[in-house]
Structure 1
Amino acid sequence: MYLAKLAISNFRKLKNVEVSFRPGLNVVIGPNNVGKTAVVDALRALLAGADDPYPRFTIDDVHCPKGGKPSGPITFVYTFCDLTLDDEADFMSALKPAAGGLLEAQISVRYADPDQAGRLRVKRWCGNNDDVPLTSDMMENLRGVYLPPLRDAAQGLKPSRTSQLSRLLHLLSDQAGRDLINEELEKLDKALKTHAPLVLTEQSIVGRHKSMLGAQLAQALEIGLSASDFQKLAARTSLLVDSLEIEHNGLGFNNLIFMAVVLSELAKNPEAAFRGLIVEEPEAHLHPQLQSVLLNYLSSIHLDQGEKAVQVFVTSHSPNFASGAKLDTLVCLVETASGVRTFSPGHVSFGPSKREKLERYLDVTRAELFFAGRVIFVEGAGERMLISVLAEKAGYSLREHAVSLISVDGLNFDSFLPLFGETALNVPVAAITDADPPAVEMVAEQPKVAVYPASGDVVTLSDNTAAMKKHEDTFVKVFHGVKTFEYDLALHPELRPLMIAALKELKPQVGADLEKAVDAEIGDAAKAKTLFKGMFERSSNNVQKGSFGQALAAQIADHDGALPCPPYILAAIKHACQVAVPV
């Protein structure tokens, strides 16, 4: 069985939030201070294990609405699905009807009635009736292990009677195996006692002890192995790493080793009906490559024969984790004007092959979108560099407005935009694209010719841009000029000299020839057409847009004085920054 749903009410920043989970890996992501730790603590309120006491909450943990006061109980409701017949028998009093004639188990935890110190009293029950308590047998059937952030994995692997390593040794041994170990330890103990160093040491201590206390008070002393039987051996067993004590190993690798031990112990545990591993910020102590290795493993944990499935809950604000995870595993926490809510990218409807394309394109840079408060999407790297400097010249710092500027590499907006909007991630999104008006027939039965509009002309949008406009809602807006990004820049007389200067850096002779040709034209549209065709519609050796964008961005950044920003780009920047646009 697995935890399918967790409803959280009145807890810290979470007024009413329902989190959906899947079997296997679940990655809860979101920016800082959005409530990821609250989700972890809600999980721990039911799934805490012997090593991790159930969390205690106070009146300070009760949700406080803006301008109001905290009141009411904290409530967590857990719904478990895919129950076996044995699970149904173990959780009989928690069963409720589910879809398709199946049964699910519902368990609730409530924190209320603070004592004089402000600590809330906890109550756990089954089903809808809080008079049906959660029994100790049920609680033992819910096995969970919590790994906190900045954890000391070496400490968790040190020898002790309750260590994860000791538990695993007990799980993987039967009585016959333990008896054989006991026999071998007894033989070893007897053999060691015959060696001179031990004999002389024992004689020295016993003699001194008798002379100190006398024959009547002296106790019987002997030297032997401290781990003289299986129980003591398990409590004193430790791991060596490349023949070194584990304390001398790196923090990152120690955390991976500790997770391996914990997952082995959980999977081998035959007694628990549910096994969960809760990992908070696994990126701590791990460089990006190890983060990727860990994520790949957690995404498809291999189970040997006889092992049980483990459900894994990970919270992270690392783009490395978000970029490597499958969309179905992600759970986003989003802060909106009405409070925090959840969003599952895996539930989004994409066009054919668009989901797969998005998962391929989600590198570390683009995965930033899951943590962004505001987003501007552009077609390529050149636009990405230029939008940033144009915004600065217009008086808007995208960084200070918490705007993430993300390139979709071409016209792949339809793989990204479905993640945003009124029914998805509620953050302001500006998509800047080209109008790309189609060629028109100027003379009957003659080839169609490209259009080079003037500023303010009404143009026919390309099919792709028109389709993008259909994604618009309160949060998502699409912005375009009259032709392409570079052409729209060239329509401005203040920007053309900078464009020619950037071109001269890349192709000096082409830049010099174009400068003369542009000067010879009359009107902004004609000059823009000549400059655009001379760079990007040449018979051969077109200027690379990425290189040109980088050179032009440097020219704009270094220019003293004000520069115009094309109106549609300025409108996009203002929408992303949430600055009111005059009507």
Structure 2
Amino acid sequence: MHLRQLGITNFRSRYDVDVEFQPDITLLVGENNSGKSDVIEALRPATTPLNRRSTRWFDEADLIHGRETQEPQFKVTYDGLTQVQRAHYIASLDVGNQRATYTTMYRRDAARQQMRPSVTAGPVEGPDSEPEKRDQIAHVYLTPLRDAQRELDSSDGNRLLRIIRYLTTEDEQEDFRRAANASLREVKGHGVLTSTTTEIQGHLGQLTESVRGQTVEVAFAEYELHRLARSLRIKMAEAGIPPTDLTESGLGYANLLFIATVILELRKAQDSLFAAACPGAGKTRAMVARFLKRTAEENRRGVALISFTNAAVEEARRHFGYQTDTLRAPHFVGAFDTIIHRFLVTPLYVKAFNQKPNYEPDGRAHPDLSRQTKRHHGIRPTTSRTFTHASRAPARRRRTT
């Protein structure tokens, strides 16, 4: 059995469309903002997640602007049913073409102030008498590698907060915080809040005035900058159209917006910076360029370019070309174990033994050391380097990790 067709009505950018699927792989191709992501998103409220825990709920914001009164609808059709499956899904089966059909509609529940689903079965949209059978047809949703909508259009305001701090001074940030809180205090006098306060105060007074009277007030809290950043949203739309929520933009443009914030963050960062990207994305080249720029601008200060692996360090060294002066002190280019040995282990060792340790490439060069360490401590040596130490007694030699 496989998904044959998905019908979408009044959902985001899809007013009325039927999408055909292949038995094995279906590839959706189109330019940005053409609605590819909306097709995938429509499958989520139309079918059951494999773990039975929904991560996507239908919201009124998903309705097409101007058609908010029209009910959204998702119609899924399954083909290729075996004889056993046709018996299982007899309530939804079209005996003419042997396909199973379920239709999900969302209606506004006035009492609960939310959109609630109702499901019908079969081509005539009759009652779904066996919902547990329908729930056995489940989907697995793989999130995008970079969820720009979650990063920039949600209550997680960490990225916006970092950008604000990069672009503005502490005095400007404090002035913004005070202005925002002052505006919220002005809203306290709005009729919605004053009437709510009056009603609550009336009932509270009846309960507390006979003992010790209490006063209540409905107002906004005094927000710090990070709390204000959580309330901010980046919106976007095509030129000439008022910006809207990122959920109404295609993932392609949303990702470009995300990349634009990353570029801004890289350009404005003044301190240490950790960058992550997929292989081949050019992060080593970008870090070397930034390293060269910093060493040229701050020739009296040491600048360090540190990597987790020696392979990345060698790749970075190749990018330096003829500018080998930047590889010398006071600057540093190397892996984490190198900087630990050079600036931590070696100074302490020299201070203790009045001589430098002799570093060797790998602890496996000393099998007796590995066996001894494992025997006495129950673990393998975890450092990527070892050094040998000759004590003052020539006849005695020991190795230390």
With structure 1 as the length reference, what TM-score do the two structures score? Answer: 0.24
With structure 2 as the length reference, what TM-score do the two structures score? Answer: 0.35
